[in-house]
Amino acid sequence: MIEKFDIYDVMTSLLHGTLFLAATFVLFPQVISVIRPLEVFEILLSIIFISIAYFLGQVITSISSIIQPLLFWTWGGMPSTVVFSGHFPEKYLSSDFINLAKNALQKSSAVKLSDAALFSKAMGIARKAEGSLSERHNQMYAYNRTALTNLILMLGLFAISCSCGLCRNFSASKIVAVSAVLGLLLILHWYRAKQRAFYYVREVIVVAERELSGGV
């Protein structure tokens, strides 16, 4: 039986792969002119398209994992590391509650743990807790991080298209306008991915503290 996460993973890969493939077809019409003459049954062409889209989605997801340290740097540090350092944004979780959760986690351990180890322990507790949304938040963070990566790659496609694709015929003003729209979308997705990352950390800490305090 396929688990929900597996279905989510497949659909996410297909979505981002399809978007990237569609952008390629739009920005480089010559690709379609190469495919069109091929005598391939439509159903076979659909299968090939879905397979390529899924593969591209997996590649984009992998790239998003590779650039994750760069994202953390632009956010002021890895959220799971920042949470116990005293620099976690108050709008997500108050410092008093974080200290309460940190003390509860430390007291439940036989030895003194580092901040990283404390968060790992909190993740384990949150993952097993009934009604926890930590995995859901983690999936949404991964989705938004991949969407951000996809936009970065599409921006690269657009830049290449300006020299050898559809956009080479665009006027300077049109290129600036499209670049501005893509840039705005990039900023919005960057911020959304950041939000999702901090929401995930917040959920882990809140659930862990609740479980350690007896669910009160």
64: containing domain: 4-212
- Rounded CA-CA distance 88/200 in Å is 13
pTM for this prediction:
0.81
Least confident range from 106-110, 146-150, 197-201: namely: 106-110
The neighbour count for residue 126, using CB atoms within 10 Å, is: 24
Structure confidence at residue 86 as a pLDDT band (50, 70, 90): confident
pLDDT at 35 over 50: yes
What's the confidence (pLDDT) of residue 3? 47
132-185 tens-digit pLDDT: 899 999 989 999 999 999 999 999 999 999 988 888 888 999 999 999 999 999
Domain tally, the chain: 1
Q: How far is CA 47 from CA 8, 53, 54, 57, 90, in A?
A: 20, 10, 11, 15, 48
In the chain, the percentage of residues whose pLDDT exceeds 70 is 88
Instruction: Report phi then psi at 133, rounded to 5.
Output: -105, 15
